Amino acid sequence: MSRSDSSLIPFLAHAVHSIRTSPPRIIASPPTQQRRAAVALVLRVVPPPDYPLNEASSQPTSLQDFFELDWVNAPGARPELLYLRRQKDSHSANGVANGKPILGTHNRSKDSHVAFPGGRMEDGDEDGLYTAMRQTWEEIGLDLAERSFTCIGQLDDREITTSLGKRLLMVLSPFVFLQLVPHTQPTDPPPETTLHWTPLSTLMATKPAWSTVTVDISSRLAPKGSFLRNLVQLLVGTMQFDAIVLNETKDARMGSRSGPNGMAKKREGSNFVKFEVPNEKYDPSNARVWRRGLKDDEEQLRLWGLTLGMTMDLMSHLKMPFQPSGLASPDGFIGGEMAVMAASMTSVFPRFSYPDVNFWIWVFGKRYRQIIRGWEESLSAGSNDRRINWTGSALQAFYAAVRKALVVVIVLRALGILAVLGFSGWWLFYRP
């Protein structure tokens, strides 16, 4: 169950105030890796389709004035968050397509992994904010420097590492923008990029549509097409990441499974995503709507990995108050307040397809579990100690456990194979 879209406006106002008054956790680039990147999280409020708008109305002079506007508080007004889908080139290497880094993607014909507009910082960029604005303009033609947008703040920096978290690739800075007018300016994304405005009610649903994204870990550890790659895949299996399906399909709605916090993830609800046609003034009646029951040839929009983590950082500011995972009532309300987003930090960490690999990760993951408990206790107490990089610490601890687990599993597999071969040789040649 989730509230109506217009009832989320007070939560959005609270989030804007929280982001503006909460200093982000800045991660300094180490001397050995100076590469940085920035992305833009763009929010807007869409008035009801039949709401009479005055084209000549003046822009609000402050955020407080914005949230007092009639069209913002009109019944049916809908707050939305912008994602984009980049079509991955089948011939691209190192996870890069269209000049943009694609981190943690998995190429399936009917799976589309969403991201935020942005990219790497260049030498001439003044700071991360400039990078986010420049990259958004270059990539999709949305000018965040216009008076119709305002930057409300920055979320915590995030470290982007290699697949097993052993080497830092870059530091990523997310910046949050709010559109102050009811109409979005025309955009001009390339043909392989599509824009998807997602209602916050979809992300705040207590029972979103969950699925998984499977990543072949052998592709990160061995050359493509080699025997070693096939051997690694056979020995350790694949990684499976939790993902929120932003546009439900028939397959996604069937059944339920356990979520990252142990609660049932029922694949039902009213999730939908608006696909906005580029180079047109936004009009709710002209938007293509992705609804439940997609056709077989349409793609699922999946929110997972790094983008899911940044989305969770944003949604955490909508807490009124935050409730730890597992405490939400079936209706999603606690003491008259809404439980924000069913996902937790653990949602961005993968499981493996082989149970014994997950077992050994648990054996070596004591430090990781301690960090998660500390993060949950900090949030439940309302303190959220910003001196601690919870996400980075959890990332390092989790993948340290993964590396140890993989070594143990591969050694045990090798010993088992040798034992079977030895016994088979004895049975064939030396058995009395």
- pLDDT grade for 215, boundaries at 50, 70 and 90: confident
What's the pLDDT band for 260 if we cut at 50, 70, 90?
very low
Nearest to 2 by CA among 139, 259, 265, 200: 200
Question: Residues 176, 155: contact at Cβ < 8 Å?
Answer: yes
- Does pLDDT of 257 surpass 50? no
Three-state SS for 286? helix
Phi, psi values for residue 169, rounded to 5°: -95, -45
Count of C-beta atoms within a 10 Å radius of residue 199: 22
* DSSP symbols for 129-176: HHHHHHHHHHHH---TTSTTEEEEEEPPPEEEE-TTS-SEEEEEEEEE
Element (H, E) at 386: none
Max mean pLDDT among 185-199, 276-290, 297-311 falls in 185-199
H/E segment holding residue 252: helix 250-253
Q: Please measure the distance between the N-terminal and C-terminal CA atoms of the chain and give it in whole angstroms.
A: 70
Category of 290 on φ-ψ map: left (φ > 0), alpha (ψ -120 to 50) or beta: beta
Q: Which uninterrupted H or E stretch holds 417?
A: helix 390-425
Task: Report the alpha-carbon distance of residue 307 to residue 244 in Å, rounded.
Answer: 11
pLDDT higher than 90, residue 90: no
- Residue 342: pLDDT band with limits 50, 70, 90: very low
Q: Residues near 227 by Cβ (< 8 Å), separated by ≥ 6?
A: none
Confidence of residue 94 (pLDDT cuts 50, 70, 90): very low
Highest mean pLDDT among 153-157, 216-220, 418-422: 153-157
| pLDDT-derived band at 389, boundaries 50, 70, 90 | confident
Computed on alpha carbons and rounded to an integer, the radius of gyration of the chain in Å comes to 23
Q: Which of 66, 30, 79, 244 is nearest to 149 (CA)?
A: 66
Across 137-143, average pLDDT: 95
Cβ atoms 150, 58 nearer than 8 A:
no
Mean pLDDT of the chain: 76
Cis peptide before 321 (omega within 30 of 0): yes
Strongest mean pLDDT among 58-67, 152-161, 217-226, 250-259? 152-161
The secondary structure of residue 430, as a DSSP letter, is: I
Enumerate long-range contacts of 230-236, CB under 8 Å, 24 or more apart.
235/409, 235/410, 235/413, 236/352, 236/354, 236/357, 236/406, 236/409, 236/410
Backbone torsions φ then ψ of 56, nearest 5 degrees: -90, 5
Lowest mean pLDDT among 44-58, 100-114, 339-353: 100-114
